[in-house]
Structure 1
Amino acid sequence: MAPPDSRPFDEVRRTSHDPRSFDDDALQDALDRAGDSAWGTVAVIPSTGSTNADAVGQVQEGAPEGFTVVADEQTDGRGRLGRSWASPYGAGVAMSVVLRPVVPEAAWGWIPLLTGVAVVEALAAQGVAARLKWPNDVVVDGDARDGTPGPRKLGGLLAERSGPAVVTGIGLNVDLTAEEAPVPRATSTRLEGADVGREQLVVDVLVALRRHYVRWQLTGGDPDRSGLLDAYREACLTLGRPVRVLLPGGGELEGTATDVDGSGRLLVRAADGTAHTLSAGDVEHLR
């Protein structure tokens, strides 16, 4: 079931450890401590184009729910609107998890938001005060490193449907240095002053993701009854902020982001008082 060239942790151990490679022993220990709450099989790939693409391929081979692909290096990760997300060797966490939701498909749009809540909780466990920028960015509040407006981007999320499954992808900058950061607005847990172990972070993400996902499924995908809506509102830095939204197909909207609705759509009130409900768009936080 593991992708080609992957390393199942119960079969391979290193005799020496490259500090910019995943430590198999450390990851296995973290998985053992988490037990069943860490979910399914985890496979590490030294380098790949996209962990989402690898996981989608495994879905087509029958990968079970919870199957996870992690890469030391990602050279052509997928972002929204066809954008790429590259992760230099050993500088971050690039991982994708297979989900097989049994709730109504109308609720599946909550999966990337659910994933974001889980990631914020996992980072908090490692001492990083991360927030979410609607719809799919993991950020740290504050200006960019060159003093231009923030927030600082720590990572991104992308959910892709593959038949009856959804692959939820997570890219986080961990040991990325200032020299490796592509733009001043990019940051990492290291640049934020946190000493984060990538192996434990992977497991913390899986544990938090499973906890929220199970609650969400048990309520039939209801974000309110599952507590997900309140958790997302608390984690989302966008809410209550003046924003500019670049709309799909052109055009833009300025106003105040007031809330997310039961479908995960962003509610924006324009300066003239009109209310807008957005299911997609690129959001810029304004000062």
Structure 2
Amino acid sequence: MLGKEHVARVLPGGKVTLRARILDPFAPTRAAMSGTPFAHLRFVPETTSTNDDAQTLLGDPGAAGMTIVTDFQTAGSGRHGRRWIAAPGSALLFTTILPDPLPADALWSVPFLAGLVVHAALKRHGVSAQLQWPNDALLNGGKIAGILCISRGIGARAWAACGIGINVERTDDSAPANIAPPPAYVRDVSTVSRSALLASILQELDRRRALLDNPNRIVRKWEEVAQLAGTRYVIHIDGDAQPFAAIGRRIGPGGSLVVEQNGTERAINLADARILRNPG
């Protein structure tokens, strides 16, 4: 939650007034990233969506490497416009604009890189998350993090940004009942602060961003960390009446999930499918 300090001001005649000033809970993150391409951090107490804020800045050289972080999103969303719901101050909600443009045909690999970064940062703080295609991280079967990347093409190049939401504090009104998968929370297993976790994520992103020169290397690493090969999935294709069971094999061209169903391989497009559960 937001902290406040009261600033005293002496007016003519000796009258003293107190003005409340909202403290930036992510000042330690900014200090930790000083001297890196990710030192530019903008904290806004409330916004509609950090992705919406970042979208207007893509392509602006002055915004390269900027992170926009908030305590509360009034219209946060994931894939297909699904709502991301978190009580004020309970989640780490931010969007980071990558410092450099990349080839437009490599954009599909950015969410997989973001997944690796989030997984590694959580692991630093004792949170053993499991990556799930295409853009989630799970903890004990519950969703602890979601990723939604955005981009803006400029010819053959593109600017990209990673929008990330991580459930940190469990509150009475963090999520509606019967949501699937149910939410999981960092605080259930770790005492790391939101500011320290954000610093770890940005440090991991700085360390790994050179991988964007080789998208196939990113997805091979993602497959390894997610233990994709042989994992049993239940998949629901949008528009189909029933889900189906399949065995994960690999990530295909453009980020599709290649699975085996009844002895036959098929590619699942991330735009029209969702994983209902991952039995392991």
Which range, TM-score by smaller chain? Answer: 0.7 to 0.9
Matched, 1:174 2:171: no
2:183 to 182, 186, 189: 186
2:34, 2:223 → 1: CA distance?
A: 30
Q: TM-score, normalised by structure 1?
A: 0.78
For residues 37 and 77 of structure 1, do their structure 2 counterparts lie closer, same or farther at Cα, with a shift above 3 Å needed? same
Name the CA distance, whole Å, in 2 between partners of 1:286 and 1:132: 10
| 1:88 Cα offset (Å) | 1.3
Does structure 1 conserve the Cα–Cα contact (< 8 Å) formed by 2:65 and 2:96?
yes
Instruction: For residue 186 of structure 2, give the secondary structure of its aligned residue in structure 1.
Output: coil
The change in CA–CA distance for 1:182 and 1:91 in structure 2 (over 3 A counts) is same
Matches within 5 A, 1:1-287: 15=5, 24=24, 27-37=26-36, 39-59=38-58, 63-99=62-98, 102-140=101-139, 142=140, 151-163=141-153, 164-177=158-171, 180-183=174-177, 185-190=182-187, 192-213=188-209, 215-217=210-212, 220-224=213-217, 228-236=218-226, 239-250=229-240, 252-261=243-252, 263-271=254-262, 273-280=263-270, 281-287=273-279
Deviations 1:180-205 (A, max 9, x none): 33346211111x23112000111111
Percent identity between matched residues is 26
Q: Report deviation, 1:179.
A: 5.1
The structure with more strand, counted as a fraction of residues: 2
Aligned counterparts of 2:74 and 2:136: Cα–Cα separation in 1: 19
TM-score, normalised relative to structure 2: 0.80
Structure 1 residues 38 and 63: CA distance shift in structure 2, 3 A: closer
1:211 aligns to what SS in structure 2?
helix
One-letter amino acid matched to 2:65:
G
For 2:229 and 2:151, the matched residues in 1 are separated by: 27
Aligned residues: 252
Distance in 2, Cα, partners of 1:165 & 1:235: 26
| Structure with greater Cα Rg | 2
Give unmatched runs, 5+ long, in structure 1: 1-12, 17-21, 143-150
| 1:168 Cα deviation from its structure 2 partner | 1.3
Is the 2:85–2:174 contact (alpha carbons within 8 Å) kept by the matching residues of 1? no
CA distance in 1, matches of 2:36, 2:124: 16
Contact 1:79–1:157 (CA<8 Å) still a contact in 2?
Answer: yes
Q: Quote the residue 1:7 is aligned against.
A: none
Q: Is the 8 A contact 1:113 1:232 kept in 2?
A: yes
Alignment partners' CA distance in 2, 1:229 and 1:286 = 19
Report if the CA contact (8 A) 2:59-2:159 is conserved.
no
Structure 1 position 174, deviation (Å): 0.4
Inter-CA distance 63–37: structure 2 relative to 1 (3 Å threshold): closer
Partner SS for 2:84 = strand
For residue 13 of structure 2, what is the aligned residue in structure 1? none
Q: Deviations over 1:106-159 (max 9, x none)?
A: 22101011101101111111211112110011111x3xxxxxxxx210121001
Unpaired segments ≥5 residues, structure 2: 7-21
14 and 91 in structure 1: CA distance in 2 versus 1, 3 angstrom threshold: same
Distance 2:23 2:199 in 1: 13
